[in-house]
Amino acid sequence: MGSSPNSKPKIVRGSAGYILEDVPHLTDYIPELPTYSNPLQDNPAYSVVKQYFVHIDDSVPQKIIANKDSPRGIHFRRAGPRQKVYFKSDEVQAAIVTCGGLCPGLNTVIRELVCGLYHMYGVKKVLGISGGYKGFYAHNTISLTPKTVNDIHKRGGTILGSSRGGHDTTKIVDSIQDRGINQVYIIGGDGTQRGAYRIFEEIRNRGLKVAVVGIPKTIDNDIPVIDKSFGFDTAVEEAQRAINAAHVEAESVENGIGVVKLMGRYSGFIAMYATLANRDVDCCLIPETPFFLEGPGGLFEYTERRLKENGHMVIVIAEGAGQELVTESIQSMHKQQDASGNKLLQDVGLWISHKLKDYFAKQKTMGITLKYIDPTYMIRAVPSNASDNVYCTLLAQSAVHGAMAGYTGFTSGLVHGRQAYIPFNRINEGQNTVVITDRMWARLLSSTNQPSFLIAKTAVEEKKKEEEEEDSFNL
Ligand X SMILES: Nc1ncnc2c1ncn2[C@@H]1O[C@H](COP(=O)(O)OP(=O)(O)O)[C@@H](O)[C@H]1O
Ligand Y SMILES: O=P(O)(O)OC[C@H]1O[C@](O)(COP(=O)(O)O)[C@@H](O)[C@@H]1O
Nearest-approach distance from CB 220 to ligand Y, in angstroms: 5
101 annotated ligand binder: yes
Which of these, 298, 306, 307, lies nearest to 325 by C-alpha position?
298
SS3 at position 282: coil
Q: According to CB under 6 A, which one of 167, 204, 355, 380 is a site residue for ligand Y?
A: 380
Q: According to CB under 6 A, which one of 100, 256, 406, 423 is a site residue for ligand Y?
A: 100
Binding flag, residue 263, ligand Y (CB under 6 A): yes
Q: According to CB under 6 A, which one of 112, 168, 220, 388 is a site residue for ligand Y?
A: 220
Q: According to CB under 6 A, which one of 195, 214, 268, 375 is a site residue for ligand X?
A: 195
Per-position DSSP letters for 338-368, written without gaps between them: -TTSPBPPP-HHHHHHHHHHHHHHHH-S---
Q: How far is CA 55 from CA 18, 58, 81, in A?
A: 17, 5, 9
263 annotated ligand binder: yes
8 Å CB contact between 352 and 315:
yes
* Candidates 168, 220, 374, 388; catalytic one: 220
What is the C-alpha end-to-end distance of the chain, expressed in Å? 61
- State how far the Cα of 399 lies from the Cα of 237, in Å rounded to an integer: 27
Number of residues binding to ligand X, judged by CB under 6 A: 21
Q: How remote is the C-alpha of 401 from its chain's centroid?
A: 22
- State how far the Cα of 313 lies from the Cα of 160, in Å rounded to an integer: 42
Which of these, 141, 142, 183, 186, lies nearest to 167 by C-alpha position?
186
Instruction: Provide the b/e sequence for 299-316 (b: ≥16 CB within 10 Å).
Output: bbebbbebbeeeebbbbb
Nearest-approach distance from CB 70 to ligand Y, in angstroms: 34
Nearest-approach distance from CB 187 to ligand X, in angstroms: 9
Binding mask 146-175 for ligand X (x = CB under 6 A): ------------------xxxx--------
Q: According to CB under 6 A, which one of 62, 342, 369, 447 is a site residue for ligand X?
A: 342
Nearest-approach distance from CB 36 to ligand X, in angstroms: 33
Binding flag, residue 99, ligand X (CB under 6 A): yes
1 annotated ligand binder: no
R_g of the chain, CA atoms, integer Å: 25
- State how far the Cα of 191 lies from the Cα of 119, in Å rounded to an integer: 31
Nearest-approach distance from CB 173 to ligand X, in angstroms: 12
Nearer to ligand Y, 135 or 298 (CB): 135
Using CB under 6 A, which of the segments 182-190, 232-240, 297-305, 455-463 binds ligand X? 182-190
Binding flag, residue 189, ligand X (CB under 6 A): yes
With 0-12 CB in 10 A as exposed, 13-18 as middle and 19+ as buried, what is 270?
Answer: buried
165 annotated ligand binder: yes
Q: Which residue is nearest to ligand Y (CB)?
A: 101
Q: According to CB under 6 A, which one of 24, 189, 349, 406 is a site residue for ligand Y?
A: 189
Nearest-approach distance from CB 3 to ligand Y, in angstroms: 23
In sequence order, which residues have a C-beta less than 8 Å from that of residue 328 and are 6 or more positions away?
none
- State how far the Cα of 162 lies from the Cα of 187, in Å rounded to an integer: 10
Binding flag, residue 191, ligand X (CB under 6 A): yes
Does 220 participate in catalysis according to the annotation? yes
Nearer to Mg ion, 112 or 190 (CB): 190
167 binds, among Mg ion, ligand Y, ligand X, none (CB under 5 to 8 A by kind): ligand X
- State how far the Cα of 351 lies from the Cα of 379, in Å rounded to an integer: 21
155 annotated ligand binder: no
Binding flag, residue 216, ligand Y (CB under 6 A): no
Residue 9 DSSP label:
P
**Active site amino acids:** 220
Report the interface residues with ligand Y, using CB under 6 A: 100-101, 189, 218-220, 263-265, 319, 338, 380
Report the interface residues with ligand X, using CB under 6 A: 1, 99-101, 132-133, 164-167, 188-192, 194-195, 198, 218, 340, 342
Annotated binding site for substrate: 218-220, 263-265, 319, 377-380
